[in-house]
C-alpha cells in the first residue's frame, strides 16, 4: 500500500466563511499542520491526517468520490450535490455526521426593491438567477410554482440589474450583499450551517479507527463549547432539589465533607451555559460556595 493511502484526508474550504472556523476546530482536536507553498494542502505533522483546501462546492463531490474521507462544508452545497446526484440517477456516497454550529446562513430568494411581492405564487412565470439550480428546482416543485431557473456561477446578485432575471436565489448571511444591490429577501429556501460529512466507502480498519478518533475529538470539542463545571456545597436534605436545578447535567458527583455530616460537596458538568439566575436559584435552595469553571477538554 502506498504510504499516502494510509493517511486520512479532510476537505475544507480554501477561502471563505468556513475556512478559519474549520481550521480552528481541527486545531482544537489537537491536530498540527504545515501548509504547502500553494496553500492547497496541509500536511498533518502529529497524526496521519492531511487537509485539502478546495472550493466549498467541490467538497461533497470529493467525499462522495472517496478522494477525501471527511469534509467540512455548508448544508447548502451538500444539499445541492445530493439533489444533483439524485437527478442524474446517482446517489450521494457520503453521510452527514454532525452539525458544527458555525457558518450559519440561508439560501433565500430575493427581489428588487421595486417588485411587488406577495407570496411564493408571485414567482410564477418569472426568471430566477441562482448557482443552486437543484435546490431551487426542488423548492419550486414543492410549492407548485413554474419559473425559469437561470444558472449563474457567481455574482448572482447583479442578474436583475443586467435584465437577466426577475429574482435571485442566493446565500444570505449578514444581508449586506443584498442591501448593496437593492434586493430584499422574500423567501427562505434552506437554512444552512457547517456540517461534517464522511464517505460511505468502507475504509481499511486503521483508517476507520483514525476517523473514529477524530470524530470523537470533534464531538468533545463541540460539547465543551457550552459546558461548564460547577462545584458547590449543599445540605444533604436539599440534594434532590439542587440536582434538578443544575442545567443539562446528568449525574452530579456527591462528595462527603470532612468537617460536617449534614453538608456535602456537589460537582457536576453542565452541558449548557450556567447563568446568574441559576446560581441564585441554587443558593436559594441551600447551596453555598458556588464555583463555575470552564471545561477545556471532554472525552465521553
Rounded CA gap, 194 and 81, in Å?
15
46 contacts 85 by C-beta, under 8 angstroms: no
Least distance from Zn ion to the Cβ atom of residue 166, Å: 24
Other CB atoms within 10 A of residue 214 CB: 21
256 binds, options Zn ion, ligand PRP, none, Cβ within 5 to 8 A by partner type: none
Using CA atoms, how far apart are residues 188 and 116, in angstroms rounded to an integer? 17
Contact pattern from residue 14 through residue 33 relative to ligand PRP, giving x for each residue in contact according to CB under 6 A and a dash for the rest: --xx----------------
Q: At what angle do helices 133-142 and 75-87 cross, to 10 degrees?
A: 80
Residue 170 CB, shortest distance to ligand PRP, in Å, is 5
Instruction: State yes or no: residue 175 binds ligand PRP (CB under 6 A).
Output: yes
- Closer residue to ligand PRP in complex, CB, 58/230: 58
Q: Is 12 in the site for ligand PRP (CB under 6 A)?
A: no
H or E stretch covering 35: strand 33-35
Segment near ligand PRP (CB under 6 A), from 20-28, 83-91, 169-177, 237-245?
169-177
The stretch among 170-178, 206-214, 234-242, 268-276 that binds ligand PRP (CB under 6 A) is 170-178
From the list 16, 15, 14, 21, the residue with the least C-alpha distance to 196 is 21
Q: Any contact of residue 78 with ligand PRP (CB under 6 A)?
A: no
Query: Considering only residues 38-57, where is the footprint of Zn ion by CB under 5 A?
Result: 56-57
Decide: 209 and 102 in contact? Cβ < 8 Å. Answer: no
Could you list the beta-strand ranges (E) of 75-173. 94-99, 105-112, 127-130, 148-151, 167-172
Contacts with Zn ion, 56-75, as mask; x by CB under 5 A: xx------------------
Q: Which residue in 33, 41, 38, 82 sits closest to 60, CA to CA?
A: 82
Which residue is associated with the grid cell 452527514? 96
Place of cell 446578485: 157
Q: Should residue 200 be labelled a site residue for ligand PRP when binding is judged by CB under 6 A?
A: no
Give CA–CA dist 134/81, Å, rounded: 8
How many residues touch ligand PRP under the rule CB under 6 A: the total is 12
Q: Which is nearer to Zn ion, 57 or 219 (CB)?
A: 57
Nearer to Zn ion, 73 or 111 (CB): 73
Look at residue 173 and give the partner it binds from ligand PRP, Zn ion, none, a contact being a CB closer than 5 to 8 Å depending on partner kind.
Answer: ligand PRP
Nearer to ligand PRP, 25 or 168 (CB): 168
User: Which residues here bind Zn ion, judged by CB under 5 A?
Assistant: 56-57
Using CB under 6 A as the criterion, which residues of the chain lie in contact with ligand PRP when the complex forms? 16-17, 56, 154, 170-177
Amino acid at each position: 500500500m502506498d504510504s499516502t493511502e494510509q493517511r486520512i484526508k479532510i476537505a475544507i474550504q480554501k477561502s471563505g466563511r468556513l475556512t478559519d472556523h474549520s481550521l480552528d476546530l481541527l486545531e482544537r482536536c489537537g491536530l498540527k499542520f504545515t501548509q504547502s507553498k500553494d496553500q492547497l494542502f496541509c500536511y498533518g505533522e502529529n497524526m496521519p491526517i492531511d487537509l485539502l483546501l478546495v472550493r466549498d462546492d467541490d467538497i461533497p463531490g470529493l467525499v462522495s468520490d472517496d478522494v477525501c474521507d471527511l469534509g467540512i462544508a455548508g448544508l447548502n452545497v451538500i444539499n445541492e450535490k445530493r439533489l444533483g446526484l439524485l437527478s442524474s440517477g446517482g446517489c450521494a456516497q457520503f453521510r452527514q455526521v454532525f452539525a458544527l454550529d458555525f457558518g450559519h446562513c440561508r439560501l433565500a430568494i430575493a427581489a428588487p426593491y421595486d417588485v411587488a411581492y406577495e407570496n411564493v405564487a408571485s414567482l410564477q412565470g418569472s426568471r430566477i438567477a441562482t448557482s443552486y439550480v437543484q435546490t431551487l428546482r426542488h423548492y419550486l416543485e414543492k410549492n407548485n410554482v413554474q419559473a425559469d431557473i437561470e444558472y449563474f456561477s457567481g455574482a448572482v446578485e447583479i442578474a436583475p440589474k443586467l435584465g437577466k432575471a426577475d429574482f435571485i436565489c442566493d446565500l444570505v448571511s449578514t444581508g449586506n450583499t443584498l442591501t448593496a444591490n437593492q434586493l430584499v429577501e422574500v423567501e427562505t429556501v434552506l437554512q444552512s450551517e457547517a456540517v461534517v460529512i464522511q464517505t460511505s466507502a468502507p475504509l481499511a480498519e486503521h483508517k476507520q479507527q483514525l476517523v473514529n478518533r477524530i470524530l470523537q475529538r470533534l464531538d468533545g470539542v463541540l460539547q465543551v463549547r457550552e459546558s461548564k463545571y460547577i462545584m458547590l456545597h449543599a445540605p444533604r436534605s436539599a440534594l434532590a432539589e439542587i440536582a434538578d436545578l443544575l442545567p443539562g447535567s446528568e449525574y452530579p458527583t456527591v462528595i462527603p465533607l470532612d468537617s460536617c455530616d449534614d453538608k456535602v460537596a456537589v460537582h457536576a458538568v453542565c452541558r449548557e451555559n450556567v447563568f446568574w439566575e441559576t446560581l441564585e436559584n441554587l443558593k436559594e435552595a441551600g447551596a453555598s460556595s458556588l464555583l463555575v469553571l470552564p471545561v477545556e477538554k471532554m472525552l465521553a
